[in-house]
Structure 1
Amino acid sequence: MSRTHPEVDVRVQVQPGMEPRIAGYAREKVTAAIGHTGTPVLYARVRLDRIGNPAASRPVTARAEIDLNGHVLHAEAHADTPYEAVDLLQDRLLSQLERRTTVR
């Protein structure tokens, strides 16, 4: 049985030490992005990490993996803050979804 996007529980994994509210923010943004497709979404995962080097440029990484009825989308974004990384990630997902719709 395929689950469509309204039923999908976006799984968010946040690196220890990050603000707990970022998980809800990421879930909300990715859910909004996948709401733009009529394709069944089998699963959606997001992972947020921060590298330990304080001098690093754009130390936060947001990654997403979305299974659209067997076609898996991957997106990644790097930023200075978790919220910025999630916003960029949402933009990348929307862009991929738009390209996928245009190509079909």
Structure 2
Amino acid sequence: MTRSDQVTSPQVHTHGTVAPEATTYAVRKLQAALYHAPAPVLHSRLTLDANAPGDRVEAHIDVNGVAVHVHAVGESLQEATDAMQERLRSRLRRIRRRPTQGPRAPEPDPA
């Protein structure tokens, strides 16, 4: 299994005036962070909000049944995206260190 098959294309939601370059940058940063996921990423959603006080970026990720949510606010969407990526990588490392977190693995068939 290669690591690239774990990364999904996120659903992207925007609020306010968000440049296409900012969206592309945020998607790339999210996907780069998802390479650190300890299990397959089942779903990912990215929200860029230029209407919030400060620019806000949120990521909602489902890592094999474990929900992960991070958000960051910055003076620009790029700054908020960079902070979101660092927080997401930190959370994904924490999941890796706590393997008992999340749903239990299926029991092997006795047959």
- With normalisation by structure 1, the TM-score equals 0.83
**Paired amino acid for 1:39:** A
Aligned to 1:97, what secondary structure does the other structure show? helix
Which structure 2 segments of 5+ residues have no match?
100-111
What residue in structure 2 maps to residue 69 of structure 1? 64
Tell me the distance in 2 between the aligned counterparts of 1:30 and 1:92: 11
**Corresponding position of 1:103:** 98
Q: In structure 1, what residue type is equivalent to 2:46?
A: V
Q: Which blocks of at least 5 consecutive residues in structure 1 are unaligned? A: none
Partner residue, 1:10: 10
Give me the whole-angstrom Cα distance separating, in 1, the residues matched to 2:72 and 2:10: 17
In 2, Cα distance between the equivalents of 1:43 and 1:99?
Answer: 19
Counterparts of residues 18-97 of structure 1 (less than 5 Å): 18-51=18-51, 56=53, 59-97=54-92
Residue-by-residue CA offset, 1:72-93 (whole Å, 9 max, x unaligned): 1000101100000000000000
Q: Distance in 1 between matches of 2:12 and 2:66?
A: 20
CA shift digits 1:50-84 (9 cap, x unpaired): 236xxx5xx11110000011111000101100000
Would you say how many aligned residue pairs link Structure 1 and Structure 2?
Answer: 95
List, as ranges, runs of 4+ consecutive aligned residues in structure 1 with deviation greater than 4 Å. Answer: none
CA distance, structure 2, for counterparts of residue 81 and residue 88 of structure 1: 11
Q: Deviations over 1:34-61 (max 9, x none)?
A: 1112411111111011236xxx5xx111
Where 2:89 maps in the other structure, the secondary structure is helix
- 2:89, 2:37 → 1: CA distance? 10
Please tell me whether Structure 1 or Structure 2 has the larger radius of gyration of its CA atoms. Answer: 2
- The whole-number CA distance in structure 1 between the counterparts of 2:93 and 2:33 is 10
